[in-house]
Each structure stands twice: as structure tokens, then as C-alpha cells.
Structure 1
Amino acid sequence: MSHRGTVSPAALSQRDLTLDLARVTAVVFVVIVHLLQVGVGYGPDGTIVTNRPAEEQPWFDAATWVGQIMPLFFVVGGFASAAGWASWTARGGDAGGFVRSRILRLAQPALALFVFVAVLLVAASALGLPASLADSAAVGVGMPLWFLAAYVLCQAVVPLAARAHATAPRRTLVVLLGAVVVVDALRFSTGVDQLGYLNLLFVWPLVQQLGFWYRDGWFDRRSAAVLAAIAVVSYLALWGSVTWGPYSPNMLANLNPPTLPLVLLGVAQACLLRLAKPALTALMRTRIARAIVFVIGSRLMTVYLWHLPVILLLSGVALLIPGGAPTPASPMWWATRPVLLIAVLAVLWLASLLLVRFERLGDVGAAPSAAVIAAAWLCVFAPTFAVTIDGLDTVLAVSGAVLLGACVVLLRRGRRSTAR
């Protein structure tokens, strides 16, 4: 999920490492949550059982108030986007070139996944494998792709968001917050859940805007007591919204379509991140922490996109090992989760040696026209948004591979630059 490409250790040392740590932590949280949601094993009668063990636990809803870490990722992403935009414009870059580079850094890694899934699903169909089995696996693989639709939208509006933040920071937050509330009100009053997807235009850009405030030092200028109070008020408002409002107490259920509780979580998590900064700074002075952040952070998009395919693959392999696939949600199943997590991370690291090249931008020359950039953006947004709504299947995998391939071709064939 990193949009910066590979970062050298020297460059890493010049950045706010607590933000890199937060970004890596967010993705590792996602891997762990999905690991606990994929239950594949043998039942007492010897048949294969599939379920979502974590969601069956009485503590799951409460755990999502901590485990739903994506708002923090968008806050940190907002900080990085604001810094990237400032650096880009300081070097004479324009909005088109900036958006083009951000789209490419999302499209190239996603293209590899779409092609991989499309080939597997077409091959499965040709071999006559049960369509239900292939579709179930595809839906699982496609679960994280909602992020691409949301993030490519946020990246496209960074130049506009930066201008709005510079000229009217408070008004920008108020307008976005008002839009979030209006969309939620329309959705829940009409019962048309699809209306909630309009909040892709407001929820995540609003949370990203908090990252702009974080970079400006607003959180640095607040005392620990004030930050703690804001976090407490945010969580109390969150509790009120799920107690008396229409929202689910399960923060993962509030993800798609995105809702107001994610904004409240984003405010609280931004405050907690700043409160934890002294401790996190001390942690990042250790070599092992810096090494982990660098290794995972330099291939974050690969880890995010490919962790579910790897989890499903290893769960399938475990079925072939005697005693390797205990009944999901059984004590033995829970006991084997740490082992599977280590195996997943190890396989992801090996796969990233090949896949990380798709995260690198390289020399692409000058940006193409605004119309071409807009068309390329749509080639990324359309298939990932469709997957968000309907889940991944053979048609979307193939069409997504074609559209993302077209996006990469369009953006890498820009007008050649005569100067670096």
C-alpha cells in the first residue's frame, strides 16, 4: 500500500519513522485480521469445513474498534501525500504529473494480481473445476481491493485537497463532514445501501485531510491532555452512533459503504498516534525495528495485495498435511494461527522478491495530457470499485486485467521529457 516505491535506508532515516511504523502496523493488522477470518480445515466427521472463526466470537465486534486500523492508514497517507505534493511542486511539477505517478504506483502492483487471478480462473473453467469453488476463492482474494478504489480516488484529489487546506482548512473539514452525514442520512432513511458508496467521495478524503493537519503540526501544538480528551470524545461519539444511531458496532461492517464511524475512528487514531510518538520514536531508534519497517515498508503494496492469496494457498496446503488443518475455531486451530502467520509472512517475503518490481516507478518521462490521465484513472477505479460492490469473479478479473494493463500503457507512454 505504499505509494512511494522502494525506500533506501538512508532516505528512511530522514523521515518521521513513527509514520512509517504506523503504516506497516496497519497492514500487518490487516493480515492478522484476515488470517483469523479464513477458517479452512476438517470437521469431526472428516469433511472439509470453511467458515469465518473470528466473526463467530462474542468479542469480535469490540475487537474491531482496535483492529479496524484503516482510518489511521489514510491519516498517515494524507501526511505523506501532503509532503509529496509540496516536494513535487517545489521541483516545478504540476498536478497532472503528480496524479499520474500516484496512479501508476497503485496500478502496476494491482495489474500483476488481476492477471494472476484471471489466468487461474480461466484455467479453472477450462479444466471443468466447480465454478462455486473458484468463485469463492476469487471473492476471498478480491476482498482487499476496495482499498484501491478508495485510495486512487484520494490520490487524484490531493492537488485540490492541498489547495483547499491552504485556503480554508476548517471549512474544508466542515463541508466534507456535512457531506458524510447527508449521505449516511439518505442511505439509512431510504434503505438503499448503494447510496452509501457516495461516501467514497467524502469519508476517505476527509480522513486523508486529517493527515494534512497532522503534517502542519496542529497535533504537535496540542497538549497530551487535549489530545487524550479529543480521542475520548471521539470514542464516546462512536459509542453513541452505534448505540442510538443506525451504525453497526462492528467497525468492519462500517467499511463498505464507508460511514461516519470511520471518521470518528480516524480522529481518535490520529490523536493516539501523536500521543504515542515519544514511545514510538524510541522504538524506532532500535536497529531491529528500523529493519522490520524498511523490509515490510518497501514492499507494502505487495504484502497488502497478495496476503489473502497466500493465506488461501497455505490453508489449502495444510489440508494435505496430516493434522495440519484442525477444525476451524477449535482450540488447536487457534493455537496454530501464530505458526500460519509466520509462514504467510515468509511466503510473502519470497514472493515480494519478484513482485516488488511492480511497485517501482522508474523513468516514465513527462506526463501525458489531462484527458489521458483521467482515462487511466478510470481504468483503475472502475474495476476495483466493481469488485468492492460485487466481489471478484472471472469476468471482473479478466476485465480488470485488461483495464489496468491499458492504464499502465497509457501512463507510461507519456510525452518524453527533454530534462530530468
Structure 2
Amino acid sequence: MTRDRSIDALRAVAIAGVVGGHWLVTGLVVDGEGAWRQASPLTSMPGFVPVSWILQTLGLFFFAGGFAAARSARRPALRKLAVPLAVVLGGWTLVLVTATALGLPDGTRSTIIKLVVSPLWFLLPYLALGFATGPLTRAVDRAGPFSLVAPAVLVVALSDAGLVPAWAAVVAAWSIPWILGIALARRGRTVLPAAGLLIGGLTALAVLVVALDYPASAVGVPGDGRSNLSPPSLFAVALAAAQIGLFLLIRDACRIRIEMPLVASLNRAALPIYLIHQSVFVAVVAAAAAIWPQPVPGLLTAPQDPQWIIARVAWLPFLALTLAALIRVSWRTTRPQGRLKPALSGKLLDGPNDESRPTEVIAVRDSDPPSRGRAARQRL
């Protein structure tokens, strides 16, 4: 199967949106007992809610995952996931047990556990859909994607009404972009109405918020009493549809013919980035708190005004560099030699063999078939 560079770019945008969104909306404050508590800037600054519509990109991630799964003959690699997941959870268990013995407040421990563990819910529906890709692909080939999307939307609507369990909405909601990704991979863009998805998604968002009183934020806001993400609601489905429609409209512009190092790196490291990005955030906050005696602006101060946002944005490059350094070290110590190669900045990929490279479901290896590798060396 051919490799689609626009999906590479989309996956890079999706993982960057997930990480950036978490780092921007995760506020921490110190309570009267000296414990960390979570706070959201969207509580005191609702004017920034539209930013959540841009940074909540899980729908795009599942769309790219469905596309890649339909193009790949490989099943999800559980061992590939189990090892880094066990390292993350085991490492934090050791740290928290030791810190608790040294007097870590219970509130801080609970907050850290929530920050580190809560994003991992994503892995269950992602893996479930990965294993279900075979029958889903056959169903899309036989009856078209919308024959599967319609009942999934109904399940989400019933969950919003409290008539079916929340776990059913988790699977149903994220199966919708996954199925649309399969449809694009199998049947091309003509099967998906780009303008219809964009306009329909935006219209549904307006109706849900204005007429049906859904929360306007794409992510949960403390105190709202209802979240569009936990479990995913019709709002999350509509947002995913609008984002996918927009991508399809600009897809040709996303076909990168020069392999960009950042896009390639984000694709290869998508899984470890997702697993540890909140761990990096917690570690940076803890280190800053240990160094500075006063609450660190943008990290341990209340997210109540635009100055907090400016301070938090100023921390983002440091968080990103810390995350990149940690992943780079882990690659050097754990990756098989010769399987993952650095991105080639500026190298043209116009030959026919470039488009024959397989796309993996979660992370993309930048490996070449032996024949292509020899040809590339001859050209150099």
C-alpha cells in the first residue's frame, strides 16, 4: 500500500494538539494544606474556550489511526505498548510510594495519579478499534462508511441521554473518525463529502451548544458538572467531523514531498509522546517547586488571568525540549539498531518507491526496503 504524506502531517498535528492542549489547560494550585490541586484556566477565563476546539484533536488522531490500520497488514503490537506502559506506571508507582513515605500530601499524590493515568484511557478504544479494523474494513467495503457511522452516532446520543453506559459512548464516538479513516484509505476522497462534514459538524456544534445546552468547551471544565470528553458526547463527534472535513478540503496542501524532520519525528514517537507527556509536565513542576520557594508563575499559580496564560506559554518550549530529550535518550537505549533512522532534512522523496512504504497504526518506522536503501545509496 502507498504511503500518504498528508496523513503523516495530520498525525503530527493531532499529537501536537493533544500534548499542547493538556499542557495549556492543566492548571495546578497549592491548597491550604500544601497539596497540589487541579484548576482549569477555562473556569475563570471562558473567553478562551474556542481554543479548546482547536487543541482537542483526538478525533483527528483516531481518523489517522483508522487510515493507517486499513493500509497496514499488521495487527496492533501489544508488546510494543505493554513495555513502555509498564515502565511509566511502574516508575510512578515507585516514586509515589517513596514520596508518600517521605511525607507527600495525599492531595498531591491523588493529583499526580490523575494527571499521569487519566490520558491512558485512550489506549483501550484505540487498541479495540485496531483489532476490529478487519471486520470494519469489510463492512465499509460492502455497505459504505455511513451505514456504520449512523448507529454509532445513535449510541452516543443515547449515552448523552443517560440511556446506555458511558463506556459504550467511548467506543462508539471514537469509532466514527476511525471508520471515516478506513473509508478514505479504501475508497478515496470521493466517498467522504469534505464540505458536508465541515458544514454539518459546525452546524451540529452550534445546535448542541445554543439549543441543547451542551458545554461549549471541547474538554472538561471543573465545576461545569458535564464534560464533552468524559465520556465523549455528540459535541465531540461533531467537532471530529468538522476537523476531518477541514482536513479533506486542504489535504492536497498537506502532501509534503520533502520529509520534514519534525513531522517524521512526531510520527515515529507518537506513542511514547502520548504516554509520558504528562509525566514530563509533573516532573518539571516538581523540579521548579523544589528550586523556587514561592509558587512558580504559570506552573503553581492560579490560572485566573491572561498573565497566567503568558507565563504558561513561556514554559511550553522548555516542556517540549524536556520531552524531546527524554524520548531521544529512550530511543538510543531501547531501539533495535538500524530500525529507526533520523529524518533526512531536505531530502526529496519523489521516487516511486517512496510511496510504497507501509504506514504503521500507532508509530511510523522510517525504515526502507533493502532495494530502496541500495538505490538511495547509489544516488548519494
Which residue of the other structure, out of 152, 158, 175, is the alignment partner of 1:185?
Answer: 158
Show the counterpart of 1:81.
Answer: 69
Which residue of the other structure, out of 205, 220, 225, is the alignment partner of 1:238?
Answer: 205
Deviation at 1:112, TM superposition (A): 1.6
- The residue identity in structure 2 corresponding to 1:82 is A
Show the counterpart of 1:325.
Answer: 296
Show the counterpart of 2:48.
Answer: 60
Cα distance change, pair 339–120 in 1 and its aligned pair in 2 (3 A): same
- The residue identity in structure 2 corresponding to 1:29 is G
- Kindly report which structure 2 residues correspond to 1:156-305, keeping only aligned pairs within 5 A, or say none: 156-170=131-145, 173-182=146-155, 184-185=157-158, 187-189=160-162, 195-220=165-190, 227-245=194-212, 247-252=214-219, 253-281=227-255, 284-285=256-257, 290-305=260-275
Deviation at 1:176, TM superposition (A): 4.5
Gaps of 5+ in 2: 220-226, 338-380
In structure 1, what is the Cα distance between the partners aligned to 2:59 and 2:105? 38
Cα distance change, pair 361–339 in 1 and its aligned pair in 2 (3 A): same
The 8 Å contact of residues 201 and 242 in structure 2, kept in 1 or not, is answered as: yes
TM-score, normalised by the number of residues in structure 2: 0.75
Deviation at 1:332, TM superposition (A): 4.0
In structure 1, what is the Cα distance between the partners aligned to 2:306 and 2:48? 17
**Residue aligned with 2:189, SS:** coil
- The residue identity in structure 1 corresponding to 2:253 is A
The 8 Å contact of residues 184 and 196 in structure 1, kept in 2 or not, is answered as: no
Show the counterpart of 1:115.
Answer: 90
Deviation at 1:309, TM superposition (A): 1.3
Question: Does residue 1:18 correspond to 2:3, yes or no?
Answer: no
Show the counterpart of 1:307.
Answer: 277
In structure 2, what is the Cα distance between the partners aligned to 1:113 and 1:19? 28
TM-score, normalised by the number of residues in structure 1: 0.68
- The residue identity in structure 2 corresponding to 1:178 is P
The 8 Å contact of residues 183 and 195 in structure 1, kept in 2 or not, is answered as: no
The 8 Å contact of residues 65 and 250 in structure 1, kept in 2 or not, is answered as: yes
Which residue of the other structure, out of 106, 131, 134, is the alignment partner of 2:106?
Answer: 131
The count of aligned residue pairs is 323
In structure 1, what is the Cα distance between the partners aligned to 2:140 and 2:336? 28
In structure 1, what is the Cα distance between the partners aligned to 2:238 and 2:333? 34
- The residue identity in structure 1 corresponding to 2:60 is L
Cα distance change, pair 166–313 in 1 and its aligned pair in 2 (3 A): same
In structure 1, what is the Cα distance between the partners aligned to 2:292 and 2:100? 27
RMSD: 3.1
In structure 2, what is the Cα distance between the partners aligned to 1:48 and 1:74? 32
Gaps of 5+ in 1: 1-10, 89-97, 363-420
Question: Does residue 1:38 correspond to 2:26, yes or no?
Answer: yes
Deviation at 1:118, TM superposition (A): 1.5
The 8 Å contact of residues 299 and 359 in structure 1, kept in 2 or not, is answered as: no
Deviation at 1:145, TM superposition (A): 0.8
The 8 Å contact of residues 199 and 259 in structure 1, kept in 2 or not, is answered as: yes
Deviation at 1:236, TM superposition (A): 0.2
Deviation at 1:343, TM superposition (A): 0.9
Identity between Structure 1 and Structure 2 (%): 27
**Residue aligned with 1:255, SS:** coil
- The residue identity in structure 2 corresponding to 1:297 is N
Deviation at 1:164, TM superposition (A): 1.5
Cα distance change, pair 358–168 in 1 and its aligned pair in 2 (3 A): farther
Show the counterpart of 1:27.
Answer: 15
- The residue identity in structure 1 corresponding to 2:215 is S
- The residue identity in structure 2 corresponding to 1:347 is T
**Residue aligned with 2:252, SS:** helix
